Structure 1
Amino acid sequence: MDVLLRDRQGARPRVLREPARGERPRPQEHGCHSRAHHRRRPARGRGVSDLYVAAGGGGDPLGTLIAARTVTAVPERALIATYAWERPEVDPTHGPLGEEHFTGLVRDAGGAAAFTPDTRARRPAGSTLPALARDLPARLLLLDPSRGLQALAGQIGAVAAATGGRIRIVDIGGDILTHGDEPGLCSPFGDALTLAACHLTGLPTTVHVAGPGLDGEIDERSLLGRLAGCHPLTPGAAAVSAAGRALAWHPSEASALWAAAVLGARGTVRAVSHTLELTESSPGLYPLPLAEAIGHNPVARALLDERPATLQEAADLSHRLTGIHGLAPEHARAPRQDRPAGGIAFLDRDTAVKALHEAAGGAGHVTLRFAARALGLDWTDIPALRRLLGCDTPLLPLP
């Protein structure tokens, strides 16, 4: 698992802010009960590109890039559409950001808004997506659900039709296959909205579940049951390396856990809100047809049945079915320690390692987000914490 995660000359990452349809039908891809998915898709003609949709926003573009490098036989600059929907420590506002929340967006395929390293989020919003546009070999497009389900479907359909490929939804962890009643479920709305919108495009779509159970919302055993008959691909180290610069600083846990599993990490891991096991199933990338995924997800089915006109109505529907309102502010589920006097510059390695051992409860690894919180640090301290602890892998091993 020695894949170097390079940060940019030790630079401290920051939340970037602003300163004071058409398509000729393609053959349907095989589903869970075909072994075709053991083989990667061959390279296709110039100008044809699949559209990868990072189902849940946040750090999902990192895992989506790893998935794209796994599905595609020849490396290419993946086209990834994502919500600007992040955790409160990154974005103190709540709910997904739209075009009006950014400056410096540019137009890409199908008229979609795309991020560049010069894009900025308008205060008080924050976003890691401009920095991901800098550090990921991908074109990152903004999915803006603010005008409702039909408009979101229009955005996705326009991009996919313009690029001539199929749609590939990537979900890290597998909560996209929720039945709505799992005890650990906390964020079903965005995934359900993605499923419903992609269905409404009428374009060929495959769902890829990466690292079942790694987001801590549905246990691995339940998900593997729902994925029975699906034959997973396993990414290689090169796919993880493609995301290495971003993994070095991004606070994503699910994508980092999947990357670590791909590189061989196994055993107990402590994350911010849960403890989990990395197993031999953790590295898998499981493809299934869109209809199968919707068949599992009651919120997606209800969205398609009721066709709510606004995002708020769609979120209310999700709340009615699951008890979880997709647009409500996220509340911290784990305590945060006081920041050390003087910050990380005055923290020594032995003190940090001892504190992390005590906080980890016997786990052999911790996520870097967990480590930062346990030490009273901010997520933007992750690169400095890596240097202090000599860590260049997706997770921090505890000796």
Structure 2
Amino acid sequence: MTRLIVAAGGGGDAVAAAMLHAALYGDDERAVILTYAWDRLLVDPLPGPRGPHDFTGLEPLTRSVLSVPPQARPIPPADSTLPRLAAELPHTLALLDPHHGAQGITRQLEELVDHLTPRSVDLLDVGGDILAGGDEPTLKSPLADALTLAACAQTNTPVRLLIAGPGLDGEIPPDDLRPLLGPHIHTFTTADTTSIAAVLDWHPSEATAMLTATARGIRGTCEVRDAGLPVSLTDEGPTVHEVDLDNALDRNTLARSVMTTTTLTEAEAYSREICGFSEIDYERDKAARLKQQPPAKPDLASVLFRLDEFQAEARARGVTHTTLRRLSEVLRLGGSRRDELRSLMVSARPEQYVAPLWRIA
């Protein structure tokens, strides 16, 4: 008997799932975390999610589900954080494959439930954009969440939908989310973050980084993403709430539309129709731009000069913190150099690294 946790949106939700499992279920049990290999150009230079054909060394769990052990490797030029996560988290990571649409994910879920007979099945979303209607002007990445929600709604087993860190993904304002949240399940504390502390030193997830930061008591305004979106770090940040899954499906037009899809291409077309865009199209365009703009070499003097310029502008905007992902964008350093950037900056300005965020001086 084990727990099954579905990470609604990708690798960041998988990290949060490990913290949630430790907080709610303890360290004695182990979970299977079903998650996308979708690093959104932060690590992987290829747009969109990776599938089983993009890896070597995956291991079968069921007919349609493969696990990602530490020794698995993405096939270049693809890259993925999942093998390293598998090495550092005490859980089994299973590869969620959206290339067969919501129907394929539903099949994966049903096979896992039959195989594991789990004590519980949780669908976890950090931020709450899984509750989006589809027309929100700040919505950026609805497709991954819509597919997992659609699949969980069709699975013949009870699934509990949990929202951690309401509003921390910057996609739905907290004031709009608040009326949609159900019972309070947990508030993360500093002690809860211990289980993922080492992972967040290198993992690029911004929402889970801010979830962890708020659990550690950090408050203020955090600037994130390439667009510099401001996200408020408040007492609501470390909370976890349950939401009725059927109510979420009623709200999420895209999730209802993709329920019968059998390919990712089909699901992506629904996203363009309903939301006015496809997040994978955005990644395709950005990947093409990045090819024309190779990342700069992280020279200490030039990095600190650009950092000081950015910090002065950020202070004027009322920003108190930012993420290493945001800094890598500002400093024109590729995501592959994130570890190098962190090491360089922490050695130069250790007092500003309030893990896992950067404090604006």
TM-score by length of 1: 0.80
- The CA deviation string for residues 28-72 of structure 1, in whole angstroms up to 9 with x for no partner, is xxxxxxxxxxxxxxxxxxxx1121111111422112212222221
Q: Which residue of 1 aligns with 2:43?
A: 90
d(CA) in 2 for partners of 1:193 and 1:66?
A: 23
Give the conservation status (yes or no) of the 8 Å contact 2:65–2:108: yes
Instruction: Measure how far apart 1:389 and its partner are.
Output: 2.6
Report SS of the residue matched to 1:233: strand
1:357 paired residue among 311, 314, 337: 311
Q: Which residue of 2 aligns with 1:222?
A: 176
Q: Which residue of 1 aligns with 2:232?
A: 277
Partner amino acid for 2:326? Answer: F
Partner amino acid for 2:325? Answer: R
1:163 aligns with 2:116: yes
Q: Which residue of 1 aligns with 2:358?
A: 396
- The CA deviation string for residues 221-269 of structure 1, in whole angstroms up to 9 with x for no partner, is 1011211x42241122232111111100111111101110111111111
Give the conservation status (yes or no) of the 8 Å contact 1:105–1:113: yes
1:372 aligns with 2:348: no
Give the conservation status (yes or no) of the 8 Å contact 1:109–1:163: no
d(CA) in 2 for partners of 1:70 and 1:332?
A: 37
Could you say if the C-alpha distance between residues 195 and 339 of structure 1 is closer, same or farther in structure 2, counting changes exceeding 3 Å?
Answer: closer
d(CA) in 2 for partners of 1:98 and 1:277?
A: 34
Instruction: Measure how far apart 1:163 and its partner are.
Output: 1.9
Could you say if the C-alpha distance between residues 75 and 366 of structure 1 is closer, same or farther in structure 2, counting changes exceeding 3 Å?
Answer: farther
Could you say if the C-alpha distance between residues 382 and 245 of structure 1 is closer, same or farther in structure 2, counting changes exceeding 3 Å?
Answer: farther
d(CA) in 1 for partners of 2:221 and 2:81?
A: 28
Gaps of 5+ in 2: none
Give the conservation status (yes or no) of the 8 Å contact 1:157–1:198: no
Partner amino acid for 2:153? Answer: H
Give the conservation status (yes or no) of the 8 Å contact 1:211–1:258: yes
Give the conservation status (yes or no) of the 8 Å contact 1:368–1:395: yes
Could you say if the C-alpha distance between residues 348 and 87 of structure 1 is closer, same or farther in structure 2, counting changes exceeding 3 Å?
Answer: closer
Q: Which residue of 2 aligns with 1:383?
A: 342
Report SS of the residue matched to 2:332: coil
Partner amino acid for 2:244? Answer: P
Counting aligned pairs with the same residue, the percent is 36
Partner amino acid for 1:287? Answer: E
Q: Which residue of 2 aligns with 1:43?
A: none
1:213 paired residue among 151, 167, 186: 167
Instruction: Measure how far apart 1:130 and its partner are.
Output: 1.0
Within a 5 Å distance, the mapping from 1:187-266 to structure 2 comes to: 187-227=141-181, 229-266=182-219
- The CA deviation string for residues 295-324 of structure 1, in whole angstroms up to 9 with x for no partner, is 2211112233xx123222222122211112
Could you say if the C-alpha distance between residues 389 and 140 of structure 1 is closer, same or farther in structure 2, counting changes exceeding 3 Å?
Answer: farther
Gaps of 5+ in 1: 1-47
RMSD: 2.4
Partner amino acid for 1:173? Answer: G
Give the conservation status (yes or no) of the 8 Å contact 1:70–1:236: no
d(CA) in 1 for partners of 2:3 and 2:82?
A: 20
1:65 aligns with 2:21: no
d(CA) in 2 for partners of 1:152 and 1:115?
A: 17
Within a 5 Å distance, the mapping from 1:296-307 to structure 2 comes to: 296-304=251-259, 307=260
Could you say if the C-alpha distance between residues 51 and 357 of structure 1 is closer, same or farther in structure 2, counting changes exceeding 3 Å?
Answer: same
d(CA) in 2 for partners of 1:99 and 1:163?
A: 21
Q: Which residue of 2 aligns with 1:172?
A: 126
Greater shift in the superposed pair: 217-226 or 86-95: 86-95
Could you say if the C-alpha distance between residues 59 and 110 of structure 1 is closer, same or farther in structure 2, counting changes exceeding 3 Å?
Answer: same
TM-score by length of 2: 0.88
